[in-house]
Structure formats: C-alpha cells, structure tokens
Amino acid sequence: MRIHGTDVGQRSETVRRANLSAIVRGLHEHGPMSRSELVAATGLTRSAIRGLVGELAGAGLVTEAPAVRLGTPGRPSPMVRLNPHGATVLAIEILVDSIAAAIVGLGGETLAEIRVDRPRGHLSVDSVVADLAGLTRELQASVHDPLIGIGVAVAGVVRRSDGLVSMAPNLGWVDVPLGAHLARALGTTIPIAVANDADLGVLAEHRRGAAVGVDDVLYVSGEVGVGGGAITGGVPLTGVAGYGGEIGHMPANPDGVACRCGSTGCWETEVGEGALLTLAGLPSDAGRDGVEAVLRDAEAGSPAAVAALHHVGRWLGIGLAGLVNLLNPRLVVLGAMHGRIYPFVRATIEAEIATRALPAPRAIVRIVPASLGADAPLLGAAELAFEPLLADPASRVGARDGAIHLATA
Amino acid sequence: MRIHGTDVGQRSETVRRANLSAIVRGLHEHGPMSRSELVAATGLTRSAIRGLVGELAGAGLVTEAPAVRLGTPGRPSPMVRLNPHGATVLAIEILVDSIAAAIVGLGGETLAEIRVDRPRGHLSVDSVVADLAGLTRELQASVHDPLIGIGVAVAGVVRRSDGLVSMAPNLGWVDVPLGAHLARALGTTIPIAVANDADLGVLAEHRRGAAVGVDDVLYVSGEVGVGGGAITGGVPLTGVAGYGGEIGHMPANPDGVACRCGSTGCWETEVGEGALLTLAGLPSDAGRDGVEAVLRDAEAGSPAAVAALHHVGRWLGIGLAGLVNLLNPRLVVLGAMHGRIYPFVRATIEAEIATRALPAPRAIVRIVPASLGADAPLLGAAELAFEPLLADPASRVGARDGAIHLATA
DNA sequence: AAGGTTTGTGATCCTTTCGCCTAAATCTGT
DNA sequence: ACAGATTTAGGCGAAAGGATCACAAACCTT
C-alpha cells in the first residue's frame, strides 16, 4: 500500500530540494531579485539563502551581480539572476499555418527563434518533423548552451505521458506518436514533452502575460479550431491523460452543424474562425486576413460582417457563461482570433454572461485579451520543458558542466 | 515580493509536519496499517516512523494495538489506527427536503447521526439554523470527544472563505452568511467550513466511495437541482472563490425553458428531477417518490415514462460529453437521482458520449453510479472539516487535551 | 566624520531523519 | 521440540540542513 499525497517521506534532503526549487522558480517567474529580497520572499534566513544561492551559482544556474546601490540605508544586497546560458530548452510549435522553434534560456529569455509560415491544409507528419529538425539545426548553430528539455506545442489532442497526438483535425493527424518521431529526427534522448497549444498558451499567459499572479484562469484561443486551457488553483488543468481543456468541442448548439471532430454543434462550429468568415460571406479558409477583412467591413458598417461578429460574440458569451459557472475563474483570457475580435464583441459577450452566468462567479470574473500574441504557445512549450528543472534544480546541481547537445546528424 | 508556491521556506520542522501529515492522512484514507506498512507506504525508516507514531499516540490521535499475527515469518508489527475519539468533527447537511447532522471521528467513523426530513419549499434561514442547533445539542449529549472543526454541506452556491451562501434557489436563499449564522447559533469559535453539497459529495466518493484511488473524477448529482463537483489531479476543483462545479447551470439548450437561476436552457432544466417528472406526466414536485414511480412505469412499458427517461438520458449524455472533453476525467460518478436512473439510461448516455466526446478522452472514461448514497455530502462535510488536521497534525500535537466543546447555551 | 541601518559571513546549535546494531517475535524445516 | 531464517522493534550515534547569534562590511543620513 502506497500512501498517496504530495509530501510523502520527507527528509532533510527534500528540504534543500524544495528550497532550491523555490529560489529558482521565484527568479524564473518574477525576474532577478536581490539576496535580501529572496530572504523576504522565501522566509528563509540570510545564512540559508547564501548557501543555496552559492550552490546554484556553483552549478552555473544563477549569477550574482556585485551589488546595486539603490539609495536606501544599509549594505546593498547583490542581485541574483538566473543565467540564461546555464540551462536552455528547445521550444517547438506546430500550428495549422506555421511552425516555429526557439531556444529559450532559464529565466525566460528567448535566445534564438525561427518561424516559418506554411500553407494550410493537411500536412504529413514526416515533412513537418523534418522541417522542425532543420529549424532546430539552424538554431543550434548559434546557441551552444546546455539543453535540458524540449517542449512541443501542437494544435491537437495530446497525451502527455508519451506525446501521442490522438487527433489534430486541422492538421489531419490521427494517433501520431509525435514525441517519438521528434526524438528520432533530432537524434536525442533529452526529455520531450508534448502538449496542446492552448494548454501551453494559458501557461505562458500565466507566467509572462495577461494572467501573471492570477491562479484561476480560463484561456480561450480561436484559431482554425477553438482551443482552451485552464489553470485552477495555480495548477494547469490537464485531466488524467492531458486531454483536458478541449472546450472547442463542448456541445453548444444541438441544432448546429457538423464539426471536424465528428460530432455536431460543437462550440467551435459557432465561434471558430470558419463560422465568422462564412457568416460574413467569405470563404471559410480565408484565414487571418479574412478575419481582418471582416473587422474592417464591420467598422465600415457592413451588415453581414456586423451580424457575423454578433453571432460569434453571442455564442462566445453563452459558452463562457457555462465555463465561468463550472470553473469559477478570476480571469478569462481571449487569445488569437478571439483576442483580436474582442473589442468588437465585448458588449455582446458581456450581455450573454450577465444573463446566463450565476451572479456569484460572474461578479468575480474579468475578461481580457491575451497579451503575448501568437508566441504564447511557443513560450508555454518552453515553460513546460523547464518545469522539471524548476521543480527540482538539485538534479542539475552537482551535474555541473552537463552540456547536452543534440546530435548534429 | 512573495514567491508563490506550495513549498516556500522549508525547514526541518516542516519535514516533521509533512511526515506526520502523511501518516495521519494515510491512516485516515486507507484505514489502519501496521507500523511496517507505514514504513513501506511512506518510505521513511522504522526509526522515524516509531518517533512520529509515538508522538501521535502521545497526542491521542492514534492508538497502537499490541501486535497482530498474520502467518508470515518475522516479528509482528503493531497495528496503528486512528483514534476516532481523539478528534471529531461536526458535519452538517442542508438539503432541500432534509437536514442532517453527524459527529464523525478521525478515521471516518460516524459516532452519531441525526437526519430530519423537512417539507420542501422555501425555508427561512433562521428556522433551519435553529433546527440544526437543536440536532447538534442532541448529538453532543452522547458524544464528548474533542471537536476540531465543523463542515457544512448546503445545496447552493457557496463562497468558501466565509461561508456565504450566494444563492440557493431551491432553498430560496440569497446572500445568506450561513457560516456566521451557524457560529452564532452554536455559540462556538471552532472553524466552520461551508461548501456546496455536490463539491462535498465528490470529496466523499473520492475518499470513501466509488472514486477511491481515482484522482480525476467528475461527480454529477441530480437532486431538485443538478449539482456537480470535480476532482482534478487529486485536488478538488473549487475555482477562485469556491463557486466552481456549477454544472447544472451550464447553457445546454439555447431554445430551452427558463431556469430557477434566471437563465434559460440550463442543463438542469433538461436533466433535473423536474424535467424527468414533468415529461413523464407527473407534477414537477413529486420528489423522490415520483422518480420511483417513473421508473416503475417505464419498466411496465409506459411510453411517457420511457420517453422521459430517454430525454433525460440523452441530455445527460450530451452534457457529459462536453464535460469529458473539458475535464478529461477517469471516472464519472452519478449521484442521487442520476445514480438511481443510471441503469435505465445507460445505453442512451453511452450512445451520446460515443457520438459527441472526442475519441481520446472517451476511451479513458468510465461512468458509475455513486456508492455512498444520500450521505455522501454529509461525509464530505466531515472530510472538509478534517482537512486542516490532516494537512497539519502537528498543530494538534502538543495541544494535548484540547477538548473543545460547543457552548450548551 | 559619526551614527544608524541593512546585509554578508562564519561558527555553533537545534531539529529531524538515517544507518547500524542488538534484541524480540514469529514461522519453517528437521 | 528445537535450531535457523525472517522480519521488526528499540536505541544510539551520524549526517544533513536550516536557525540563531555575533561580528564585520557597506551604505545612507546628519
């Protein structure tokens, strides 16, 4: 029998691990801090902080700037900052119309990034993986820091344990073992974590964007499909296998149209890009430019464009009302297309929520557009890849100079 | 600046706290264990377990039975069990047609319980609170163990921080400070935690019922209204204020009928008790007896009853499909009326889920009826009240003989 | 230049668990 | 029945880690 919980069998070593984690995570999320600020933030003593920071510095994960005079009395405290070159991750994003790769340093600094637009349509897994391997080689030519993990954002339903893409309707993928494919193409044994793009988008907005400091966040991102991610109590809502957050395929309109997923009346069919474009009289694959056209037409007074926006806004409000009732978030972040159209549909959304959400959660929630733009899933992928290090920096401490590189083959 | 996380500023004392918590929580959730089993379960050494268990025994929280011979070689290990009289909680349940109170001992044993049926209808807060105080006095006459907390389950939307019942449509309550009312009526300063009945139902099913060992559970409980609760990653989904889990008021049918909450087409209006009864041709307030009548009629072949069940089953399936896509649970537990009708609507539910849920999460999820019956929220209220002790037994250790009693006034 | 304030440094102490040894209790095989 | 194997309890010293405390250093204010 195994007792089940977060803190089973703690020992003194665990304490050090946890304290190192608190320091590294604090610096990663809040940026550089002085040693005395670390003392205040963690509640540890100066002696303890000194020892822990010293250990991290010895491992190359942090650097200490000599001092900084800031006009207050007392001896100035040296600034501690994470060393972006002490540990890096490779972040990869696979969207319907573009792929991207970046190398991100500890602390969140992007050291190198490449994005390549691709034509929409069903893309073979092999060609995408090959292209990503090419991008990665380019990035690796300019950055030579130790790589500790790889994070992948993909617009599909992903099993976290092994990176199986169960379904990515907009890519035409079914049961693709993406994690294994990438490992082979990159010739590496570095851990690869694959996740849904919206799940990573909310992670990025939570760490670096519009939801910093907010522990209960719902993120809705309308691309070709409609993705969603949630953070509840500060913890990403993944579900048992990582499939969680698929709000685009919640039944919304029983009389609705067929969805790519095989069901009918999914929320995505009412609030997705295709719905907006079709209702506005444009081809459903007009893409981002089409959306911009709809917005211009609406400003110019086009009835079809206004009606299309109203339709999407109304269904957005209906769906959000239910999600607000279910998840009781502090903040709803609208990403991608939904962030773009938000100024145009704000009143419609709010009217529906005022009607359909319960008074109590409704009074708490705020709706804001995303602040990170198209890079959110990419940054989230980096955060995902950093997570093991943040949770246990001790695993790297002592493993000094463990510069791992991808095979150049 | 305060670093934000679960494990900030750990020290040796924290380790002891965590280890005591692991032991008490393990015994509370899994029942009595021998000392050697505790060693295996926690990964701690015998020496450590001896010291920790000894401390708990000294505080009266656990008892050690001399030994137990179990047919295996080796020196037998004494059984460690929680002492139900070492710490107790008062659990209270406020449903639409009944109120109940119980005193539950550490480990989960119910030491005393009273349930009183009440006529349905709008109930004054004062009368309910007065009746509960009476029940509590009765219970306290027979049990005199130290009381460490009070948990309250109420069929409404509850703010966790202070026990404000924002809305309980089926009780006719709006913005009732129930926690404060109860504290006054019981004349106590013991912490009172109030929560939604379905949120506590899933907690109980997770600890003692159909969802033991399952960390991603969705619970749907159809009473007069439709309540819901979820556990994700082992953690109850409360949302930022505790309002989370209100699945009964997710918009389901935009063309639907008016709901008690003020919206229209809420899921509750399609799958609640009222919907089933009305469709079957019975008065909507026929209650549990009415539901039984519908089931009897359906077995006898009544077309109206069969159609009513089919309708509820179909909408149950539609809603569950969306929730499965969103939350990716391992298990869906159907409580109260939904558990009762499950055998009759199982095929209908499964057909809708097969159509509307995404293949990946659908392949994982199982649907089962609840196993605790009507007492689930009451047991959950007890679990809620025990939570502080389970999280930090050290706070009681040393506070020996801190038998706190309610004022008898 | 003197005093106050804050922080770094280092030695020592306290807490908690681990490791090891011996004793005890039980089962198994002869 | 008795010896050996197995498993666990009990107790003592070791190890690890942070807390405490005293002192020195660096800065600001007057």
Q: Is B390 helix (H, G, I), strand (E, B) or coil?
A: helix
Q: At what angle do helices B178-186 and B125-142 cross, to 10 degrees?
A: 40
In sequence order, what are the residues at sequence separation of 6 or more whose Cβ sits closer than 8 angstroms to the Cβ of residue B182? B92, B129, B132, B150, B152, B163, B192, B194
Q: CA of B327, closest CA in chain A: separation in Å?
A: 5
- Asked if B244 lies within 8 A of A326 by C-beta distance, the reply is yes
> In the structure, what pLDDT confidence band is assigned to residue B222 with cuts at 50, 70 and 90?
confident
In sequence order, what are the residues at sequence separation of 6 or more whose Cβ sits closer than 8 angstroms to the Cβ of residue B123? B171, B172
Q: Please check whether residue B403 lies inside any domain of the structure.
A: no
In sequence order, what are the residues at sequence separation of 6 or more whose Cβ sits closer than 8 angstroms to the Cβ of residue B4? A26, A29, A213, A234
Q: Are B221 and B336 in contact (CB under 8 A)?
A: yes
The CA–C1' separation of A20 and C17, in angstroms, is 20
Q: Is A177 helix (H, G, I), strand (E, B) or coil?
A: strand
Bridge-based pairing state of the strands B147-154 and B88-94: parallel
Residue B258 to residues B146, B170, B261, B268, B275: CA-CA distances in angstroms? 48, 15, 8, 10, 12
Domain end position, chosen among A23, A51, A82: A82
Residues B55 and B104 in one domain: no
DSSP states along B41-104: HH---HHHHHHHHHHHHHTTSEEEES----SSSSPPPPEEEE-TTTSEEEEEEE-SSEEEEEEE
Is residue B72 scored above 80 in pLDDT? no
Bridge-based pairing state of the strands A110-117 and A98-105: antiparallel
Q: Are B197 and B221 in contact (CB under 8 A)?
A: yes
At A80, the amino acid letter reads V
Give the pLDDT confidence score for residue A2 in this predicted structure.
56
Whether A72 sits with its Cβ under 7 A from any strand C atom: the answer reads: yes
Q: Please check whether residue B7 lies inside any domain of the structure.
A: no
Give the pLDDT confidence score for residue A65 in this predicted structure.
85
Q: CA of B132, closest CA in chain A: separation in Å?
A: 26
Q: Which chain A residues are Cβ-neighbours of B15 within 8 angstroms?
A: 10-12, 14-15
- Asked if A42 lies within 8 A of B321 by C-beta distance, the reply is no
Pair of tokens at residue A83 = 């060393």
Domain limits at B355?
210-371
Rounded Cα distance between B338 and B356, Å, is 20
Residues A177 and A246 in one domain: no
Beta bridge partners of B80: B33, B64
Q: Please check whether residue B334 lies inside any domain of the structure.
A: yes
Q: In this complex, how many residue pairs, one in chain A and one in chain B, have their CB atoms less than 8 Å apart? A: 255
Q: Is A391 helix (H, G, I), strand (E, B) or coil?
A: helix
Rounded Cα distance between A28 and B308, Å, is 56
Q: CA of A187, closest CA in chain B: separation in Å?
A: 28
Residues A258 and A322 in one domain: yes
Q: Which of A10, A44, A167 to mutate to test the interface with B (most CBs of B within 10 A)?
A: A10
CATH number, residue A37? 1.10.10.10
Q: Tens-of-pLDDT digits for all 409 residues of chain A?
A: 555 655 567 777 888 999 999 999 999 999 999 999 999 999 999 999 999 999 999 999 999 887 767 777 878 888 999 999 999 999 999 988 889 999 999 999 999 999 998 876 667 899 999 999 999 999 999 999 999 999 999 999 999 999 999 999 888 899 999 999 999 999 999 999 999 999 999 999 999 999 999 999 999 998 888 999 999 999 999 999 999 999 999 999 888 899 988 889 999 999 999 999 999 999 988 888 999 999 999 999 999 999 999 999 999 999 999 999 999 999 999 999 999 999 999 999 999 999 999 999 999 999 999 999 888 999 999 999 999 999 999 888 754 444 444 443 3
- The set of strand D positions with any atom below 7 Å of a protein CB reads 4-13, 15-21, 24-29
Q: Please check whether residue B176 lies inside any domain of the structure.
A: yes
Per-residue pLDDT of B264-314, as tens digits, reads 999 999 999 999 999 999 998 888 899 999 999 999 999 999 999 999 999
Give the pLDDT confidence score for residue A408 in this predicted structure.
39
Q: Please check whether residue A100 lies inside any domain of the structure.
A: yes
Residues A355 and A380 in one domain: no
Q: Which of A325, A364, A387, A390 to mutate to test the interface with B (most CBs of B within 10 A)?
A: A325
Rounded Cα distance between B78 and B60, Å, is 16
Rounded Cα distance between A164 and A408, Å, is 25
Pair of tokens at residue B20 = 């005591």
Residues A219 and A361 in one domain: yes
Residues A155 and A230 in one domain: no
Rounded to an integer, the average pLDDT of B60-68 is: 82
C1' of nucleotide D18: residue with nearest CA: B11
Q: Please check whether residue B346 lies inside any domain of the structure.
A: yes
> What region does A86 belong to: left with phi over 0, alpha with psi -120 to 50, or beta?
alpha
Residues A186 and A221 in one domain: no
Residue A63 neighbours by CB distance under 10 Å: 17
Strand order through the sheet with B366-369: B235-236, B226-232, B217-222, B331-335, B366-369
CATH number, residue A132? 3.30.420.40
- The set of strand C positions with any atom below 7 Å of a protein CB reads 3-11, 14-20, 23-28
Residues A154 and A221 in one domain: no
Rounded Cα distance between A129 and B140, Å, is 68
Kindly state the DSSP code that residue A393 receives in the 8-state scheme.
G
Residues B288 and B319 in one domain: yes
Domain end position, chosen among B39, B65, B82: B82
> In the structure, what pLDDT confidence band is assigned to residue B6 with cuts at 50, 70 and 90?
low
Rounded Cα distance between B195 and B155, Å, is 9
Q: CA of B122, closest CA in chain A: separation in Å?
A: 20
Q: Which of B7, B270, B315 to mutate to test the interface with A (most CBs of A within 10 A)?
A: B7
Q: Please check whether residue B310 lies inside any domain of the structure.
A: yes
Is residue B77 scored above 90 in pLDDT? no
Domain end position, chosen among A82, A115, A135: A82
Residues B236 and B262 in one domain: yes
Pair of tokens at residue A267 = 């929320």
Q: Of all nucleotides in the shown strands, which has a C1' nearest the CA of A17?
A: D17
In sequence order, what are the residues at sequence separation of 6 or more whose Cβ sits closer than 8 angstroms to the Cβ of residue B22? A3, A5, A7, A8, A9, A10, B42
Per-residue pLDDT of B86-130, as tens digits, reads 999 999 999 888 899 999 999 999 999 999 988 766 678 999 999
Residues A150 and A283 in one domain: no
Pair of tokens at residue A75 = 């001896």
Q: Of all nucleotides in the shown strands, which has a C1' nearest the CA of B72?
A: C27
Residues A259 and A346 in one domain: yes
Whether A1 sits with its Cβ under 7 A from any strand D atom: the answer reads: no
C1' of nucleotide C7: residue with nearest CA: A75
Q: Domain tally for chain A?
A: 3
